[in-house]
């Protein structure tokens, strides 16, 4: 064992491709499952959330307009960089979730594989969910799935990496951009994930990650007029109904996930479908 | 120009009865709510008295639907459900003329539209969805997707029979049972549809139809034993329903308002575009959620388009909905007429230039002459709010980018139109429109195979096509 003093990391927010501290100047201590201090995380504010929405909106046109092949490669690149950071994630997940090393390894491996699974979806979604519509008339009519827009994601509180990856990847795979509130008490793997995103060709603003108190920030996202969809997965039980009610103010798409969602199981397409619109285009046929 | 001779369709074909009752558990029964009188908006005469549902009637209807779901409909093989739904499609076709005349009487829409659009498309919806009932495993939602249970459905007055078909057909095909509330001002064709459903011998309780006002709709969507809510109507009411359903497990789909941009480029075939613009805003008196109510015309052809448009609109015949020559019928209600007047007055007050068709209007009934506002800016109410009437707002643009920005500058996102001869530009525009339906070089086309529904505050969920089945499956 070395006597060297390690360089401790400052955990910050991830907004618009940059790593700012919370504009509020607040931070909160993060501990491991036994209560030992791990780090101070930035305690994001309403203003941070709004900055994140603005960054996500700004990034939307380019990300949604990128080719599916390009998005697939960018997502696959994320998996490559995740793999390179495997050891770091294993120790962070072990500390955050209080699991044995072997279990943490399996969680991280599944998370990386999950990311690869979604990376492969980008250029198949339109073929699987789209259609040529055999309308009764001289028209060509086709329907294509399109991203909903800016999605606010309340990440799972327990599953700090696998759950996080499982809720972010389906949002961005189809061209949406995301504002993510991390697990409140287990935020460190999320911040490390943001370092992965920042170094793997994901354009700034496509994913924005905020640490802090979910109950404090979530209501601002639920009522924000420039947020198109809301994932309630990590919402505190006592807050879910209120958040849904606020979301109705601008007719947001709300994903009311199953509370007991098992992230270890390979998912189906439902999380992809949750953030997709269907656009139907018509054109007359004739000479 | 020669004079038209009136060509009225016979009112007797509607087989109008003095009283209509609600349809619950396979029987026509007296509701215990306050009966309503439905009027002909073209004459303001009472057409019939219709019994309405009280809160306890809503409960009875939901119970009947639950029982039918548990005991019969959810257990029936899809191939058997299909044959019931096919029967409904065929009976709508057989009684098409009766339904069309009745629809025009109760709603005020021109007979040529109810005859050529509403009724045949309603039949087509049942026919299309019937075929899905035993093929749901191929729809992409897993090998054996399950229904949700009892669907509570609330529909508007602009396409009374067609909206009933859009709601009931997919619900039944997916194995759900239905309680449907037609709009207060247009309950009649839905109750004739109930008669058809009875004659088709559907098991009692599979479809229940309960007329009434908004309070009946509210009790229906709030009912704890309803599993699925489908609503078509205003964005304001849609938001109320979404709020009401917060914290429940009910699945919700909403088809709400719109403020569609109809975009005309300078290379468009202008005569065709003018026909499309007219169809886009004056079809069904503009009582269409996807109406092309904002005309965005490229500056270089704006004067020419406006001139052609006014000339064409002047030839539209406004009047008796039962006259086969009528192009624009009656506004559905006094309330709606008042709203249209109020919004058009705001247009004048805010400085837009008003032009109104010189067509004569009937002495009685609710009519509004086709109206076009030019010099409209994006901030004006007539450019932002859904008027739901025969009123067109004209704005201009210079570049495709500006057209996209203006078209998308709305919280709505139901439909859009693009007129240009350039194929690559059509696809470029279609990709950038934040709207659920994009009609290019056409407008207001509907088909049961083509998914329909909105982005943003125009609602969520789709109706029609494979995509539309998701709304009625537990997936």
Note the pLDDT tens digit of each residue in B2-61: 778 899 999 999 999 999 999 999 999 999 999 999 999 999 999 999 999 999 999 999
- Residue B246 to residue A245, Cβ atoms within 8 A: yes
**Predicted local confidence at residue A260, as pLDDT:** 74
Whether A236 is covered by a domain: the verdict is: yes
Residue B191 lies in a domain: yes
Average pLDDT over all residues of chain B: 97
Looking at the structure, do residues B228 and B285 belong to the same domain, yes or no?
no
Taking contacts as CB-CB distances below 8 angstroms, the residues of chain A near B256 are 251
State whether residue A83 sits within 8 Å of chain B by CB: no
Return the SS3 of B29. Answer: strand
Whether A131 is covered by a domain: the verdict is yes
In a domain, A2, yes or no: no
Q: Which of A137, A242, A278 is opposite residue B451, by nearest beta carbon? A: A278
Token pair in block for residue B368:
């509004």
Q: Which residues in chain B are contacts of A133 at CB distance < 8 A?
A: 447, 449-451, 465
Range of the domain at B329: 261-440
Which residue, chain included where needed, has tokens 């109750």? B191
Domain assignment present for B6: no
Burial of A259 (0-12, 13-18, 19+ CB in 10 A): exposed
Instruction: B350-353: list long-range contacts, CB under 8 Å, 24+ apart.
Output: B350/B380, B350/B381, B350/B382, B351/B375, B351/B377, B351/B380, B352/B376, B352/B377, B352/B380, B352/B382, B352/B393
**What's the confidence (pLDDT) of residue B61?**
98
A217 to chain B, closest Cα gap in Å: 19
Distance CA B451, CA B129 (A): 13
pLDDT band at A258 (very low <50, low <70, confident <90, very high): low
| Cβ–Cβ gap A281/B440 under 8 Å | yes
Q: How far is B245 from chain A (nearest CA, A)?
A: 8
Each residue of B424-450: pLDDT tens digit? Answer: 999 999 999 999 999 999 999 999 999
Are both B328 and B387 inside the same structural domain? yes
Q: Closest CB to B442: pick one of A149, A256, A284.
A: A284
Rounded to an integer, the average pLDDT of A48-73 is 98
Q: Do B361 and B212 sit in the same domain of this protein?
A: no
Which residue bears the tokens 């919280």? Answer: B411
Same-domain check for residues B410 and B328: yes
**Closest Cβ–Cβ partner in A136, A241, A280 for B246:** A241
- In angstroms, the CA B293 to CA B416 distance is 10
Contacts of A136 in chain B (CB under 8 A): 124, 447, 449
Is pLDDT of B1 > 70?
no
State the smallest CA–CA distance between residue A77 and chain B in angstroms: 27
Q: Which of A268, A231, A235, A227 is nearest to A251 (CA)?
A: A227
Q: Does some domain include residue B281?
A: yes
The verdict on residue B4 lying in a domain is: no
Residue A271 with chain B: CB contacts under 8 Å: none
pLDDT at position A8 = 86
Q: Is the pLDDT of residue A257 over 90?
A: no
Using DSSP, state whether B335 is helix, strand or coil.
helix
Residues of B whose CB is below 8 A from A237: none
HEC sequence for chain A: CCCCCCCCCCECCEECCECCCCCCCCEEEEECCCCCEEEEEECCCHHHHHHHHHHHHHHHHHHHHCCHHHHHHHHHHHHHHHHHCHHHHHHHHHHHHCCCHHHHHHHHHHHHHHHHHHHCCCCCHHHHHCEEECCCCCEEEEEEEEECCEEEEECCCCCCCHHHHHHHHHHHHCCCEEEEECCCCCCHHHHHHHHHHHCCCCCCCCEEEECCCHHHHHHHHHHCCCCCEEECCCCCHHHHHHHHHHHHHHCCEEECCCCCCCCCCCCCCHHHHCCEEEEEEEEECCC
Question: B368-374: long-range contacts at Cβ-Cβ below 8 A with a sequence spacing of 24 or more?
Answer: B368/B285, B368/B331, B368/B337, B368/B340, B368/B341, B369/B318, B370/B282, B370/B313, B370/B316, B370/B318, B370/B328, B371/B344, B372/B306, B372/B309, B372/B310, B372/B313, B373/B344, B373/B347, B374/B306
| Gap from A171 CA to chain B (nearest CA, Å) | 17
Percent of chain A with pLDDT over 70: 99
* B294 and B410 together in one domain: yes
B167-184 pLDDT tens trace: 999 999 999 999 999 999
Residues B288 and B390 in one domain: yes
Same domain, B224 and B283: no
In this complex, the residue of A128, A240, A251 whose CB is nearest that of residue B239 is A251
pLDDT-derived band at A287 (thresholds 50, 70, 90) equals confident
Classify residue A87: in a domain, yes or no: yes
Residues of B acting as catalytic residues: 255
Higher pLDDT, A260 or A234: A234
Size of interface A-B (CB pairs under 8 A): 115
Q: Which long-range contacts (CB under 8 A, 24 or more apart) does A23-28 make?
A: A23/A47, A23/A48, A23/A51, A24/A48, A26/A212, A28/A212, A28/A213
Q: Cβ distance B459 to B254 under 8 Å?
A: yes
Between residues 154 and 183 of chain A, which touch chain B (CB distance below 8 Å)? Answer: none
Chain B positions in Cβ-Cβ contact with residue A149 (cut-off 8 Å): 456
Residue B146 has a CB neighbour count (10 Å cut-off) of 15
B426 and A283: CB-CB below 8 Å?
yes
In a domain, B1, yes or no: no
Give CA–CA dist B178/B171, Å, rounded.
7
H or E element: which one contains B425?
helix B423-432
Mean residue pLDDT across chain A: 96
Residue A34 belongs to a domain: yes
Ordered alpha helix ranges (H), B266-360 = 270-282, 302-314, 334-349
Neighbours of A34 (CB within 10 A): 7
- Residues from chain A that touch B450, judged by Cβ atoms under 8 A, are 133, 135, 141, 143, 280, 282
Residue A61 lies in a domain: yes
Please indicate whether, in this complex, the C-beta atoms of B475 and A270 are within 8 angstroms of each other.
yes
Residue B328 bridge partners (DSSP): B318
Evaluate whether residue B204 is within a structural domain.
yes
CB-based contact A184:A217 (threshold 8 Å): no
pLDDT digits (tens, 9 = 90+) for B208-220: 999 999 999 999 9
Interval B186-207 mean pLDDT: 98
B202 domain-assigned: yes
Is there a contact between A277 and B455 if contact means CB atoms under 8 Å apart? yes
**Any domain includes B468:** yes
Contact A250 B411 (CB under 8 A): yes
Mean pLDDT for B249-273 is 97
Q: Which of the residues B238, B241, B456 would you substitute to probe the A interface, choosing the one with the greatest number of A C-beta atoms within 10 Å? A: B456
Give the dihedral sign, CA B309/B321/A282/B261. positive
Same domain (yes/no): B409, B336? yes
Instruction: Report CA-CA distances (Å) from B31 to A171, B54, B193, B435.
Output: 48, 7, 18, 40
Contact A284 B441 (CB under 8 A): yes
CATH number, domain containing residue A118 = 3.40.605.10
- Pair of tokens at residue A80: 């490559």
Q: pLDDT at position B3, please?
A: 76
Partner residue facing A278 (CB), from B254, B457, B467: B467
B292 pLDDT above the threshold of 70: yes
Q: Tell me the chain B residues in contact with residue A65 when contact means C-beta distances shorter than 8 Å.
A: 431
Average pLDDT, integer, range B356-374: 96
Q: Please count the structural domains in chain B.
A: 2
Q: What pLDDT is stored for residue B49 in this prediction?
A: 98
According to the model, what pLDDT value does residue A115 have?
98
pLDDT exceeds 60 at position A1:
no
How close A183 comes to chain B (CA, Å)? 22
Assess if residue A86 is contained within a domain.
yes
Q: Do B276 and B146 sit in the same domain of this protein?
A: no
Print the domain residue range for A87.
27-284
CATH number at residue B276: 3.40.309.10
Same domain, B235 and B109: yes
Question: Does A286 reach chain B within 8 Å, measured CB to CB?
Answer: no
Q: E strand or H helix at B133, and its extent? A: none
**CB-based contacts of A70, cutoff 8 Å, min separation 6:** none
Query: pLDDT band for position A201 (50/70/90)?
Result: very high
Number of domains in chain A: 1
Answer yes or no: do A131 and B466 touch at CB < 8 A. yes
CA gap B36, B54 in Å, rounded? 12
Specify the CATH number for the domain of residue B131. 3.40.605.10
Q: What is the rounded CA–CA span in Å between residue B407 and residue B418? A: 10
Give the closest-approach CA distance of A279 to chain B in angstroms.
Answer: 4
Residues B418 and B277 in one domain: yes
Question: B92-136: per-residue pLDDT in tens?
Answer: 999 999 999 999 999 999 999 999 999 999 999 999 999 999 999
**pLDDT for A259:** 64
Q: What is the Cα–Cα distance from B270 to B293, expressed in whole angstroms?
A: 18
Cα separation, B151 vs B153, in Å, equals: 6
- Based on the domain organization, do B329 and B463 belong to the same domain? no
pLDDT tens-digit map of A82-129: 999 999 999 999 999 999 999 999 999 999 999 999 999 999 999 999
Task: Tell if the CB–CB gap between A250 and B457 is shorter than 8 Å.
Answer: yes
**Nearest CB neighbour to A281, from listed B243, B438, B460:** B438
Q: Is residue A11 part of a domain?
A: no
């Amino acid at each position: 064992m070395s006597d060297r003093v390690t360089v401790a990391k400052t955990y910050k927010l991830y907004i618009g491709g940059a790593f700012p501290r919370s504009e509020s100047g607040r931070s909160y201590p993060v501990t491991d499952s036994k209560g030992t201090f791990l780090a101070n995380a930035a305690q994001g504010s309403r203003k941070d959330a709004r900055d994140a929405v603005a960054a996500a909106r700004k990034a939307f046109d380019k990300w949604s307009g990128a080719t599916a092949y390009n998005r697939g490669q960018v997502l696959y690149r994320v998996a490559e960089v995740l793999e390179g950071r495997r050891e770091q994630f294993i120790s962070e997940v072990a500390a955050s979730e209080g699991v044995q090393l072997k279990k943490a390894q399996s969680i991280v491996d599944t998370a990386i594989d999950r990311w690869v699974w979604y990376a492969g979806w980008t250029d198949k979604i339109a073929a699987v969910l789209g259609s040529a519509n055999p309308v009764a008339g001289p028209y060509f009519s086709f329907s294509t799935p399109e991203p909903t827009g800016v999605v606010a994601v309340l990440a799972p509180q327990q599953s700090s990496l696998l759950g996080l990856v499982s809720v972010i990847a389906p949002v961005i795979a189809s061209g949406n951009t995301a504002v993510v509130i991390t697990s409140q008490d287990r935020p460190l793997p999320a911040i490390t994930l943001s370092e992965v995103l920042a170094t793997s060709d994901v354009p700034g603003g496509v994913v924005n990650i905020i640490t802090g108190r979910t109950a404090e920030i979530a209501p601002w996202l639920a009522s924000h007029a420039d947020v198109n969809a809301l994932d309630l997965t990590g919402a505190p039980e006592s807050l879910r109904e209120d958040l849904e009610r606020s979301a109705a103010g601008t007719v947001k798409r709300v994903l009311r996930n199953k509370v007991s969602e098992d992230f270890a199981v390979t998912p189906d397409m439902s999380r992809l479908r949750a953030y997709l619109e269907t656009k139907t285009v018509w054109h007359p046929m004739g000479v | 120009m020669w004079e038209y001779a009136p060509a009225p369709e016979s009112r007797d074909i509607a087989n109008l009865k003095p009283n209509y009752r609600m349809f619950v558990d396979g029987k026509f029964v007296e509701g215990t709510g306050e009966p309503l009188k439905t009027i002909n908006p073209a004459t303001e005469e009472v057409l019939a008295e219709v019994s309405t549902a009280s809160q306890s009637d809503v409960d009875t209807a939901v119970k009947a639907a639950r029982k039918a779901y548990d005991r019969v409909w959810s257990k029936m093989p899809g191939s058997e459900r299909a044959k019931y739904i096919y029967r409904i499609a065929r009976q709508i076709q057989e009684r098409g003329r009766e339904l069309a005349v009745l629809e025009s009487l109760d709603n005020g829409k021109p007979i040529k539209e109810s005859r050529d659009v509403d009724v045949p498309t309603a039949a087509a919806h049942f026919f299309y969805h019937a075929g899905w009932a035993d093929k749901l495993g191929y729809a992409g939602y897993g090998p054996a997707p399950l229904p949700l249970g009892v669907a509570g459905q609330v529909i508007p007055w602009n396409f009374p029979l067609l909206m009933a078909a859009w709601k009931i057909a997919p619900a039944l095909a997916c194995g759900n049972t239905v309680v449907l509330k037609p709009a207060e001002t247009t309950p009649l064709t839905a109750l004739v549809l109930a008669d058809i459903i009875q004659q088709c011998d559907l098991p009692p309780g599979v479809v229940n139809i309960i007329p009434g006002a908004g309070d009946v709709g509210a009790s229906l969507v709030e009912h704890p034993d309803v599993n699925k809510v489908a609503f078509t109507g205003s964005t304001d009411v849609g938001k109320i329903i979404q709020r009401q359903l917060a914290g429940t497990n009910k699945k919700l789909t909403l088809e709400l308002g719109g403020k569609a941009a109809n975009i005309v480029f300078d290379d468009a075939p202008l005569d065709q575009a003018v026909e499309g613009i007219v169809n886009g805003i004056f079809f069904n008196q503009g009582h269409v959620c996807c109406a092309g109510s904002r005309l965005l015309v490229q500056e270089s052809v704006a004067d020419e388009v406006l001139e052609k448009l006014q000339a064409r609109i002047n030839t539209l015949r406004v009047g008796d909905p039962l006259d086969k020559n009528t192009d624009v019928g009656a506004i559905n209600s006094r309330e709606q007429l008042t709203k249209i007047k109020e919004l058009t007055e705001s247009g004048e007050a805010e400085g837009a230039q008003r032009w109104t068709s010189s067509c004569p209007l009937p002495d009685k009934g609710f009519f509004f002459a086709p109206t076009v506002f030019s010099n409209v800016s994006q901030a004006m109410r007539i450019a932002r709010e859904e008027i739901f009437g025969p009123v067109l707002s004209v704005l201009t643009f210079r570049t495709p980018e500006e057209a996209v920005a203006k078209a998308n500058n709305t919280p709505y996102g139901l439909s859009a139109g693009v007129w240009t001869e350039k194929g690559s530009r059509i696809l470029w525009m279609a990709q950038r429109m934040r709207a659920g339906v994009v009609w290019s070089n056409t407008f207001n086309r509907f088909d049961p195979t083509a998914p329909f529904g909105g982005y943003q505050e125009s609602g969520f969920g789709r109706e029609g096509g494979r995509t539309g089945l998701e709304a009625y499956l537990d997936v």
